[in-house]
Structure formats: structure tokens, C-alpha cells
Amino acid sequence: MFQNAPFILTPGSDVSSQTIAYVQQLVSKTGAVPISLSAQRHDQIVGMVSHLPHLCAVALLNTIAGFEDKDLALTLAAGGFCDLTRVASGSPKLWREILGSNRWVAASLVGRLQKSLQALKELLEQGELSGLEALLADAQKTRSLLPLRRKGLLGSSFQLVLSLPDEPGSLAAVTGLLAEKEINIQDLEILRIREGEGGTVRVSFRDQNAQEAARGILAAAGFQPLRQE
């Protein structure tokens, strides 16, 4: 659970360097990566990458809840909408406490998001499609900086994406084939499932050799794995 995961430490000004070093060493022994931050900086960063996305999902779902064609819209919602709103499935009571403990930072970040949305709104209203494209390109560039091929903070993750038939044991068949050949699965993610149509999974491996070996094994078994860079 802790392997390569970031483990944030927020020592106060009265904590000795010896104590910090001891705790860092303890964290490292679990396989995690210790990162020291001030409490304020921690709250800002977590607010941006965790609390704000949750609030975005909440706002989007509450917006569609008031849409007159809500039921049909939800029926037609594809993977992008589901991925974007997944975090809103969390416990409201738990998230009330989380957001309440960091409410001023979260409120400030919502304000920054409002400015971004307002800029998009004005470009759409004015028909400034070139300006809109520029913002879309900026977002695409920032998205490309996400460490998609990394698990935690260490090590590359080489991935295969494959569709599975809608029948019992299809996922077990994939994992069983790889286990039989002693190929370790670093991570496995179910991307989407529609009843009667099977599902799509993403399987991650530690290195390219394991990725290529897995692709050959699965292809020989009748699956059609696609390598994802």
C-alpha cells in the first residue's frame, strides 16, 4: 500500500532535525517517499489537486440535476463524464469534514476556478474561437505534464489496454495467464463496464519487457491488447 507513495510530513518549527531525519527514515522503510512541507503549503497543494476536483465534480453533478433532460443526459453520459465525476461518489459526511478543515483554501481555489470559467464563458459568448483554442491548447499542454506512466513517485508504468467479453471469469483469465508466466501486474484499473457489452481494463507493468511479454501472451490467448504509451 505504501510502496512508492508520497508520505507528507509537516514538522513544526520546534521539531529537531534529528527527529525529522528519524521519521523520514521510518517512512522510507515502509517503501513510501517522505516529503517535508509546511502545513500551509500542504493545504494549498492538497486543496488544488484533491479538494477542488471534488468540488468541481459536485458542481457539475448538481448542475445536471437541474437540467430538464437530466435522465436522458445521464443515460447518454460517456466515459469522460463518468471519469470527471467519479470522486463525487465519496461519503458526503466525510467530505464535509475534509472540506471544512480546509475551507478557506478551498474557497480561494473555487474563486480562481470561477475566473477560468468566466474566461471560457466570455470567449464562447463572443465567438472568439481562436482564443478558445489557445486555452484548450494550454490545458492540453498542462495535462501532458501529468506523470501518467508513473506509479507513485518512483518507477515507470508500462500499460496495456484490452476489452473483455461480458462473461464470468474473463478478468480472472487475464490475470491467470500472466500469473502462470510469472509476469507481475503492477496495477490494474477497470475503465468502464456496460452490461451486455463487456468492459475495458488497463493493466500496468514495471518495465517494457514485462509489457511486451504480457502483450504476446494475451494476444496468443485471443485477447487484443493495445500498448498504451
Query: What does the pLDDT look like over 117-138, one tens digit per residue?
Result: 999 999 999 999 999 999 999 9
In angstroms, the CA 52 to CA 109 distance is 7
pLDDT of residue 197: 56
Under a CB-based contact definition with an 8 Å cutoff, are residues 9 and 17 in contact? no
| Assessment of whether the complete model's pTM goes beyond 0.75 | no
Confidence of residue 158 (pLDDT cuts 50, 70, 90): confident
- Antiparallel, parallel or unpaired: β 198-205 and 187-194: antiparallel
Under a CB-based contact definition with an 8 Å cutoff, are residues 208 and 183 in contact? no
Confidence of residue 215 (pLDDT cuts 50, 70, 90): very high
In the structure grid, which three cell numbers stand for residue 193, read together? Answer: 463496464
Residue-wise pLDDT for 53-79, tens only, equals 999 999 999 999 999 999 999 999 887
Nearest to 155 by CA among 187, 129, 128, 124: 187
Sheet holding 198-205, edge to edge: 187-194, 198-205, 158-164, 226-228
- Res 194 pLDDT > 90: no
Residue 47 CA: distances (Å) to CA of 50, 87, 98, 206, 213: 6, 14, 10, 30, 40
Confidence of residue 149 (pLDDT cuts 50, 70, 90): very low
